Structure 1
Amino acid sequence: MLAIACNDARHYLIPNELTAAAFGIALLRGSILFNASASSMLWLVFRASAVSLPLLLLLLFYRHWRGRNGLGLGDVKLAAVAGAWLELPTAAAVIELAALSAIAVYTANAVVRRRSLRGTAFLPFGLFMAPAIWIGWLSEQFLLRWGYFWPG
C-alpha cells in the first residue's frame, strides 16, 4: 500500500503491477485462511466487484457529465483490492475515510496557501485510499482479536 500511495502521489498513476500483486495476495490469503473453498473465494471476488463497481459507475458518469476524468481506472482497481481484503462495511468506511481525508487535505492546503478552492483540482486519490485500506485492515484485525464484529 505504501508503494501505491507513493507512486500515485508522485506520478498520479497506480501501476497495474501493484494492484495485481495486492489482489493476488488477497486471493492467496483467502485461500489459506478459508481452505480455498469455492464459496469463500467467490465471496472474495464478489466483495471486490461490489466495492469497485460503484466507483467504476462514478468514473463513467463523471466522464460523461463533465467531459473529463474525475477518478482514474487505477482508483477503481484499488477499490477492488479493498473489497478483496476487507469486509463490505469496512470497505465502505475505507472509501469514506479516503474521500474525507482528501477533501480535508485539499481544503487545509488551500487555506494555508491562501488560494481559492477549485472544482477542477487534481488529487491523487490513491494517496488517500491506500493508507485507508491499511487502516481498515488493521481495524478489522483488532476487532476480530477482541471479539467484536460488524453488525449484519
Structure 2
Amino acid sequence: MAAPGLDGVLGALLGTLMLAIATTDAQRYIIPNELVGAAAALALLRAAAMAPDAGWYAALVAAARGIAVALPFLALMAGYRAWRGRDGLGLGDIKLAAVAGAWLSLVTVLAVIEAATLAALAAYIAHGALRRRKLRATAYLPFGLFLAPAIWFGWLAEALLNQSAY
C-alpha cells in the first residue's frame, strides 16, 4: 500500500483529477478551472490534515508554495508573449503548476516539471518523426497532458519515500 489512510484517499482523488485534466487538455487544449480548483482545494485540505498541530498555517504554507511555483510560469508566459507575439503557455498550465506547488515539496516540483517537459518534448519529436514532419516552433502542445500525470507521480514518490522513513 503506497499511502495508507487519509493521504492515500486524497492521493487517489488527486490521481482522478489529474487523469481528467490530462484527458481534457489532450482533447480540447484546455484545463478546466473546476478541476484545477478541486485539486488546489484538496492540496490545502491535505496540508491542514497532515499537520494537525499546524492546521491552517500548513495550508497557508502550501498555498504560498503554489504561488511561488506559479509565478515563474507566469513570467515565462508573459516573456514568451512579448518575444514571439503569441501564447506559449496557457493560464491553465500556470494554475496546474500552482497545484503542483501546493501538493509537493519544492524539490519534487522541480523534478516533476523537468519530467513533464522532457516527456512533452520526446512525445512531440517522436510524433513528428513518425509522421515524417519537421518540428515547428508554432506547434501547439497540450502541456497539461504531461504535467498532470507527473504531479500525481510526484505525490506517489513522496508518499513512498515518506512511508519508508518510518
TM-score by length of 1: 0.94
1:124 lines up with 2:142 in the alignment = yes
Out of 41, 44, 48, the position equivalent to 1:27 is 44
Match of 1:22, SS state, is helix
Match of 1:43, SS state, is helix
What is the rounded CA distance, in whole Å, between the counterparts of 2:95 and 2:136 in structure 1?
Answer: 26
8 Å contact from structure 2 (residues 25, 144) kept in 1 = yes
CA RMSD of aligned residues (A): 1.2
8 Å contact from structure 1 (residues 51, 92) kept in 2 = no
Runs of 4+ in structure 1 deviating by more than 6 angstroms, as ranges, are none
Tell me by how many angstroms 1:15 deviates: 0.6
Tell me by how many angstroms 1:45 deviates: 1.2
1:2-31 CA deviation, whole Å, 9 max, x = no partner?
Answer: 000000000000010000000001111111
What is the rounded CA distance, in whole Å, between the counterparts of 1:120 and 1:31 in structure 2?
Answer: 42
Structure 2: 5+ residue stretches without partners: 1-17
User: 1:103 aligns to what?
Assistant: 121
8 Å contact from structure 1 (residues 94, 136) kept in 2 = yes
Amino acid at match of 1:15: P
What is the rounded CA distance, in whole Å, between the counterparts of 2:164 and 2:154 in structure 1?
Answer: 15
1:82-117 CA deviation, whole Å, 9 max, x = no partner?
Answer: 001100010111111111000000001111111111
8 Å contact from structure 1 (residues 26, 85) kept in 2 = yes
Match of 2:96, SS state, is helix
Q: What percent of counterpart residues are identical?
A: 58
Out of 67, 73, 78, the position equivalent to 2:85 is 67
